[in-house]
Amino acid sequence: MKGERPGPANNLIFGRYRILATTMVASYGSSHKGYDTLAERPVAISKLKKAKTTTIGQNYGYTLQMMRADATRTVKITHPSILDIYDQLEDDEYFYVVSEFTGNPTISNMRTITTRDDVLTVMEVFEKVVGTLQYLNAHGITGCCVQQENIHISPSGEIEIDNLFLCRFNLIDNISNLGRQISSLAIYKNRAFSDQLLNERLDVKLAGEVLKSLLYLVKRQQGQDGNLTEDPPKTRKDASQVLMPKIDNIVNKFGSATEEPAYKTIVEIATEVREITSYIKATKDDGKRVSLKSSGDRRTYLPGETIFREGDDPSEEAFIIEEGCIQILKRAPDGRELYLDVSRPGDMVGDMALIDNQPRMATARATEATTVAVITAEQFRRMLEKSDPISRKLIRVLTNRIRYQSSEIARLKSILGVGK
């Protein structure tokens, strides 16, 4: 899409985006905090010099056309932890990518993760990182190139990851500083990200570097402060002592910067990391775990697996989440997935189709390792029959409204070019 360059009489890029501050200036161009005047939201704006992208294309086989394709591919997948791409624009000099903005720092810019770091906090954060990579891998997206500078962490320990385009571009732009092994995985026969197997191995290698960076934050904090101001609870201390050999084993499997990891896939890493985080969760007594007194079936889903799809015929089942997280999505006319909601432990999903016997309104997909209890249609009907007729009528009216409003939300998001 072509547009006017900002100037004295026009301080908006393409009549829509206002640059508020410059966050980085580099050889490839610059990065900015901006504002979307149409959608009324903060955005991140990357300005890439076309002359620089031409050089990158010649040297590494990662052309501007390939960058555009990665940006287009990125918007097809929506995940709560991945920062969206909102828009792609260009003029004669620059290629612009407008993305979701975050004010949270990256791992590479942090001195500590929380006010009281320990290795268990690190493993909980790392599980979210590898879970997101597993989600992408399940949808055929490898070579994600997620590094420390692409992972943003909130004060509560939630993560946000830059989109595929920015992760890949940042890696290629810095490829000469990343060592021969990473270069050989990223670039095959003078073309970047062209080999599926090497892409998977690249994701594994970079995941190991992320874990080591997280653990380094803990060591640095402990080295500065000696004994931490506040000792962790005894159960957490005990868990740390029990799990340290397993954590050390995972780190050793990643090898040194010049060694080949013992892991072959992100799934292998995620499986071992979840064994550790499951133990951590079991030591917590925060009352948040959902336990249902039900003899019904339990099902487990890994990140990226689908529970049901939009448009499916109504089945005889609904689901209550016992552990994990399920994302609710609708498909836009342009093919992108639009975020509607995230359901967490204690929430029920799939119940609307049992109420009105209409096709599934949306897609439900696990974003974390998830366990659900299956509620049959007969069980659900018995639950409804216990309510009075007015309540049952109200439930059906609300169901119709939710279906309509969800479609309208999806339509408006599609117009604004957002996935969340």
pLDDT in tens, 63-82: 999 999 998 888 888 899 99
What's the alpha-carbon Rg for the chain, to the nearest Å? Answer: 23
Per-residue pLDDT at 251: 95
Number of CB atoms found within 10 A of residue 124's CB: 16
Residues of the chain with CATH 2.60.120.10: 298-416
Q: Is the pLDDT of residue 9 over 50?
A: no
Cβ-proximal residues to 227 (8 Å cutoff; 6+ apart), any chain: none
Model confidence pLDDT, tens digit, residues 147-157:
999 999 998 88
Q: How far apart are the C-alpha atoms of 220 and 216, rounded to whole Å?
A: 6
Residue 345 falls in which region: left (phi positive, over 0), alpha (psi -120 to 50) or beta: beta
Q: What residue spans in the chain does CATH classification 1.10.510 cover?
A: 107-283
Output the CATH code of domain 107-283. 1.10.510
Read off the pLDDT of residues 234-287 as tens digits, 9 standing for 90 and up.
Answer: 666 677 788 889 999 999 999 988 889 999 999 999 999 999 999 888 876 554
CATH code of 17-100, in short, is 3.30.200.20
- pLDDT for residue 305 is more than 90: yes
Q: Please report, for residues 18, 76, 140, 304, the alpha-carbon distance to residue 418 in angstroms, rounded to integers and kept in the order given.
A: 18, 11, 22, 20
- Domain 298-416, what fold? Jelly Rolls (2.60.120)
> How confident is residue 337, by pLDDT bands cut at 50, 70 and 90?
confident
Domain with CATH 3.30.200.20 in the chain: 17-100
